[in-house]
Amino acid sequence: MYSKAINAGAIGGKILGAGGGGFLLTFVKNEDKGSLRQAMSDFKEMKFEFETEGSKIILR
């Protein structure tokens, strides 16, 4: 996955998670997002945003 992302325009990435699953977090320029999405279309994209207020409980 990492090599595929780099070849599609990602500047870098980090493999996260353990056990039966995980994530590949990538860093990519805006102009390369389309080619990265196309190259990684076999995988599920998980969108996220950075939080500036710190940790919060979102489910109980």
Distance, CA of 30 to CA of 22 (rounded, Å): 24
Residues paired with residue 12 on neighbouring β-strands, in sequence order: 27
Distance, CA of 60 to CA of 57 (rounded, Å): 7
According to the model, what pLDDT value does residue 51 have?
A: 80
User: Where do the domains of the chain lie?
Assistant: 2-39
According to the model, what pLDDT value does residue 17 have?
A: 84
Residues paired with residue 13 on neighbouring β-strands, in sequence order: 26
Q: Does the global pTM surpass 0.85?
A: no
Chain centroid to Cα 6, Å, comes to 12
Mean pLDDT in each 10-residue stretch from start to end of the chain (60 residues)? Answer: 95 86 91 96 88 81
